[in-house]
Structure 1
């Protein structure tokens, strides 16, 4: 009986110890699995980057070249209004659009206009030719091209590798059992998806720049102004009547002023006349006495 009592507690203790060891090993296994998943994602990202560099070089050689074309034209036109109307019609005909259009007047003889238009790449040269033929004179012509093929292929490869990582993270998220692992994978997934959106945005911008060419137009119109005949300077009879009326008014005004002056100053005039007469007679009398 005493042997059985000692054996049973030993058996229970051994069972508890084995259970604890099993749980510990399971925890380590889960941790190792999570770490292995993270390492697997990182290694796959590194491998993708390395593979992309090799793929980029091959794709650049086989991919159709992507060129961004731009042009600047400075031309003289006979009529600025008519030239702008023709350009607008050509832009619509080729399926392009106008980015900017303005007109400004430097003086009475110079009217200038600026236009920025975007034309589908396949009609780029045709539009330039049409504009030059419709101009009176070409002052300046500048055409440039920027090859962005390598840049686009690089972005394309980066998107592929990022999407592969995104797929792997989604698989890990579906198999994650711990909240801690789920949060870590979600954070990594959000970061990768944000990077994908940025890269795709850059690719869309480059596609737009290569699909449509940008053309800046400066239009100059020189107007020769012929002065009109000034009929006011040739109206002799009206000028004569006007001058006669002016002279008559002056004479009447002068006569009226003289009459007003005389009548208004009669007392003073009479006094001055009397004084002058007295002085005259006094001088005359002195001369008579001397004689």
Structure 2
């Protein structure tokens, strides 16, 4: 009987000792957690920020394509080459139609090659919904369509990809901002700031590309080259005839020629008068000598 009571007392003592040792271990573990340094949490935040910044691209790649139907984004462009009757009038009409359809002119030039040939080039942009209507109106201004080329570039996939990447980068940006607000070490703060600046720069680049694609798809571009071939008919200009003036000029010229010739003769005879007198006297003398000889020969015969 005594042995049984002793056994019960020893068992109760062992149970009490085990319970006390378990309580002490729990207390020690709770104290260790309470006394742990706060720098460990900063290090964990820094490591997580590095992992987010370095693996953001891999996270984007793992995202699946959206299953929701997306409106197609098409960049339309047209090139027109036409013959027109009047270049100035055609350009003016096209400018009015651009304003009517809510577009704007990017470039407008006129080239004058010669009196019979001139050309013009216009680059305009109109809203996408008015693209086909404006194209028909522009062709209506032509006497003949020489070339018509319409192209469309689908950028839907590119835009959706940029949109998903921006969302992913926004999430990374929010996490980095959260870590920055909790960081206590200067080194951790500088590291997170550098990662945040890089992520924000990437977001700005992608948002810029998205805005460019939105602008290109919301407005279509049309390049119009116009040629004008004219037949120039010369007009009779009475001012260029000047009949009376030309007659007086010709008469004066003729009189001047006669007076010049007469003056030259007078100068020649008067200037050479002594020589002419001598030559005339010699001529007369020779004439009489020859005439006398002829008479003598006749008498002898």
TM-score by length of structure 1 reads 0.79
Of 80-89 and 245-254, more deviation after overlay is shown by 245-254
Alpha-carbon distance between aligned partners in 2 of 1:279 and 1:35, rounded to the nearest angstrom: 148
Q: In the TM superposition, what is the alpha-carbon distance from 1:122 to its structure 2 partner?
A: 0.6
Matches within 5 A, 1:24-39: 30=39, 32-39=40-47
Alpha-carbon distance between aligned partners in 1 of 2:295 and 2:237, rounded to the nearest angstrom: 74
Partners of 1:45 and 1:161 within 8 A in 2? no
Q: Deviations over 1:229-259 (max 9, x none)?
A: 3658977777666544433332222112211
> Is 1:86 aligned with 2:102?
no
Alpha-carbon distance between aligned partners in 1 of 2:64 and 2:132, rounded to the nearest angstrom: 31
Alpha-carbon distance between aligned partners in 1 of 2:63 and 2:79, rounded to the nearest angstrom: 37
Partners of 1:121 and 1:210 within 8 A in 2? yes
Structure 2: which 5+ runs fail to align? 1-31
Of 102-111 and 64-73, more deviation after overlay is shown by 102-111
TM-align CA RMSD: 2.9
> Is 1:203 aligned with 2:210?
yes
Q: In the TM superposition, what is the alpha-carbon distance from 1:263 to its structure 2 partner?
A: 1.5
Q: How many residues align?
A: 265
> Is 1:183 aligned with 2:201?
no
CA distance 1:189–1:33, change in 2 (3 Å): same
CA distance 1:240–1:77, change in 2 (3 Å): same
Match of 2:263 among 253, 256, 264: 256
Alpha-carbon distance between aligned partners in 1 of 2:186 and 2:288, rounded to the nearest angstrom: 144
Match of 1:167 among 146, 165, 174: 174
Partners of 2:82 and 2:144 within 8 A in 1? yes
Partners of 1:74 and 1:217 within 8 A in 2? yes
Structure 1: which 5+ runs fail to align? 1-21
Q: Which has the larger radius of gyration?
A: 2
Q: Deviations over 1:67-94 (max 9, x none)?
A: 0000000111111111111111111111
Q: In the TM superposition, what is the alpha-carbon distance from 1:57 to its structure 2 partner?
A: 2.2
